[in-house]
Amino acid sequence: MADILNRNLDYSRPINIADGVYWVGFVDLASGLHCNPYLIVDEGEAALIDGGSRPDFATVMMKIMQTGVEPSKISTLIYHHYDPDLCGSIPNLENIIGRQNLTVLSHRENNIFIRYYAARSRLRCVETMGFKFQFKSGRTLRFFRTPYCHSAGSFITLDEKTGVLFTSDIFGSYDPPERWNLFSDIPDLCHSCDVDSRFNEDFKCDRIDDFCPLVGIFNFHRRIMTSGRALRHAMEIVRKALPDMLAPQHGGILHKPGDIGMVIERLEAVDDVGIDGILGKGQ
Ligand SMILES: [Fe+2]
Ligand SMILES: [Fe+2]
C-alpha cells in the first residue's frame, strides 16, 4: 500500500492505495479537474472503475499495464454515471481488452446513455444483480444508489475487502493543479473553521497560507450536485456504508476518519447546492 504519511509517491506510476486497489490516473496540469480512475485486481481478474476520458486513455492504459495486469484480464468496467470524463474511453478500452464477454456495469438510468459509448460490450444493470458484484474469488463489491448526485442513476461502490468507497463525483473537488495530492489531508485548523458560511468564489484563507482544501470541495458540490436534498441523502448513504477510505473521481482521497466525518458533516450542511443556489431553498 502507498506510504500515505510521508507522501513519497511517484505519480508517474500506478499507486497502490489498498489491497489490490490501484489509482491509475495521472497528474493533469492542463486541467482544473483531476480525474481518478481506479483498478481493482483480484487473483488475476481486474475491474476498472470510472476508466476516464478519450484523451486520457493512453496514459491510463499505460498505468494499468504498469500494475502487471494485461488488458485482457479486465473483465468488468464499472461506471458510476455517464459523463464523458469517465466514459469517453470505453471504445478504446473495448478495442484493447478485446474480450467477447467484457461487461459494463452501471445503473439502468445510466446504461441508456452508456450504450452510445459501449457498442460491443454486454451492459448489465446493478439493480438486476442485487446491487453487488463478485470476483471469482468471492471478493464483493456493493453498490449503493445516490440519485441525483449528480445523475438520476448515480451510485457508489464499496469494496468490502478494503473498506474503500469509490464515490465518483461525490467528494470531488476543484483544485489548482499544482496543489493537487492523491491523498487529502485536511489541516487541523480547517476542522474548526466556518469556511462554508464565509465561502465565495474569491475566498482566501487567513489561517493556512491561502489554500483551503475545503473550498474546492464546496465549490464542486454546489456546482455539480443537483440540490441540497439530494446531497444530504447521499451523505446518509455514505455514512451507512461505513467506509474506511473515500476514493472520489476528482480531487483527493480522504483517508483519515476525522477528515471523513468532518467533510460529510459539512456537506450535509452546505447551502446553495445546485438548483437551490439558483431558485433558493424550498421553491
Ligand atoms: Fe459527473
Ligand atoms: Fe466527474
Beta bridge partners of 22: 16, 39
Pick the closest to residue 35 from 45, 49, 21 (CA basis): 49
For residue 168, is it within any domain? no
> Is the same domain home to 150 and 42?
yes
**Residues 242 and 186 placed together within one structural domain of the fold:** yes
Whether residue 57 is found in the same domain as residue 150 = yes
* 153 and 181 housed in the same domain: no
Range of the domain at 223: 177-279
- Measure 209 CA to ligand 1 centroid, in angstroms: 30
Q: Hey, is 207 helix, strand or coil?
A: coil
6 in a domain, yes or no?
no
Residues surrounding ion ligand 2 at CB below 5 Å:
85, 169, 249
pLDDT at 200 > cutoff 90: no
**Cα(6) to centroid of ligand 1, in Å?**
31
How far is the centre of ligand 1, averaged over its atoms, from the C-alpha of 242 (Å)?
23
The tens digit of pLDDT for each residue in 104-160 reads 999 999 999 999 999 999 999 999 999 999 999 999 999 999 999 999 999 999 999
Confidence at 7, pLDDT banded by 50, 70, 90: low
19 part of a folded domain: yes
Query: Do both 20 and 153 map to the same domain?
Result: yes
Does residue 214 sit in the same domain as residue 146? no
Residue type, 6: N
Please tell me the pTM assigned to this model. Answer: 0.95
Q: Which ligand is nearest to the CA of 248?
A: 2
Same domain, 196 and 66: no
Instruction: Mention every residue, 6+ apart, whose C-beta is less than 8 A from residue 81.
Output: 106, 110, 150, 151, 153, 154, 168, 169
Domain boundary among 129, 157, 185: 157
- Give per-residue pLDDT as tens, 91-115: 999 999 999 999 999 999 999 999 9
Same-domain status, 152 and 20: yes
The CATH number of whichever domain residue 58 belongs to comes to 3.60.15.10
Are 188 and 125 in a shared domain? Answer: no
Do the domain assignments include residue 58? Answer: yes
How far is the centre of ligand 1, averaged over its atoms, from the C-alpha of 169 (Å)? 6
Q: Are residue 194 and residue 247 in the same domain, yes or no? A: yes
Q: Look at the chain and report how many structural domains it folds into.
A: 2
Question: What does the pLDDT look like over 13-40, one tens digit per residue?
Answer: 999 999 999 999 998 888 768 899 999 9
Residue 5: inside a domain: no
Look at residue 170 and tell me if it is in a domain.
no
Instruction: Please indicate, yes or no, if residue 4 is contained in any of the structural domains.
Output: no
Place of cell 473537488: 173
HEC states along 43-95? CCEEEEECCCCCCCHHHHHHHHHHCCCCHHHEEEEECCCCCHHHHCCHHHHHH
Could you tell me if 131 and 185 lie in one domain?
Answer: no
